[in-house]
Amino acid sequence: MYVNPYFITRKPSDEFLSTFVDYYFHIDVSVKQLSLTQEFIIPFPRTTFGYFFNSPFLATNHTLNEAVSINMAISRISTHKITMAPQTDRIKIIGAYVKPFCLAYLTRRPVKTLPWAIDTIALFEKTATNFQKKIHACKNADQMFEEVEKIFLDNLLNRDLSLIRQAVALIDENAGNISMATLAEKLGVSDRTIRTHFDNHIGCTPKEYRRLVKIKQVAYQLKISENSLTSIAYDNHYFDQAHFIHDIKDISGRSPKELRKEMPNFRFLQF
């Protein structure tokens, strides 16, 4: 387990869960300590589950011009422009970062039909409310992580998701730089079959997912590297600056230069 003053993470103990749950996380910190008023969320190729206790956030989808108060929710994979703002003076969250097909192990509803911010109680009903009660009875983060793992294990559906898992793995391994033709050839299926699986099990198109994987890599390099924007563009298979700047701004709402400048404000919801 990795611990810093307000952010604790843990990998799953269960071997099967560890193939699609990146890690569980717990945050407990005052808004004042973070000087946080609003956080811009970089579109991200992962799904996030979060329970915010009695410290809800206001999630605003600027693409759809919609805002919802988030108390227990699951984010859907999307290229929408979203900001999160605390509504109380404290930030307290228990949650998990998971691979994009994780929802398909928990519900048979086509993921594309679900809203951009999924109300966990509305989707899972009594299962979610029982989880909420158990979390409040926990005395520390370790006990909470055990409850999160248990809720996953108790509600996994018996589904064959091998095709979408392989597709996601290929896109991730190639940092988004793989064509649909190559993807279809390696998987031995048609383009249409791949798109159907992405719609049903992830909720976005293969093209959107490839773009999200690329921007994740770009954002990571902007954060940890001092390389020039030109170098980062070439590293990520952008062969001219205009295309690089347009693609990053189109999906994130910010130019690469602006993204690098604001990166320190992207505190705990990703990276």
Output the six-digit token pair for 20: 């699609």
Q: What is the pTM of this model?
A: 0.89
Percent of residues, the chain, with pLDDT higher than 90: 70
Q: Could you tell me the pLDDT band of residue 253, with boundaries at 50, 70 and 90?
A: confident
Least confident piece of the model among 68-72, 115-119, 176-180, 237-241: 237-241
What gap in Å lies between CA 234 and CA 29, rounded to an integer? 39
Q: Which domains does the chain have, with CATH numbers?
A: 2-155 (2.60.120.10), 162-265 (1.10.10.60)
- Would you give the end-to-end CA distance of the chain in angstroms? 17
pLDDT tens digits, one per residue of 151-169:
999 999 999 999 999 999 9
**What pLDDT does residue 123 have?**
93
Higher pLDDT, 42 or 268: 42
**What pLDDT does residue 44 have?**
86
**What pLDDT does residue 10 have?**
95
Least confident piece of the model among 44-48, 185-189, 199-203: 44-48
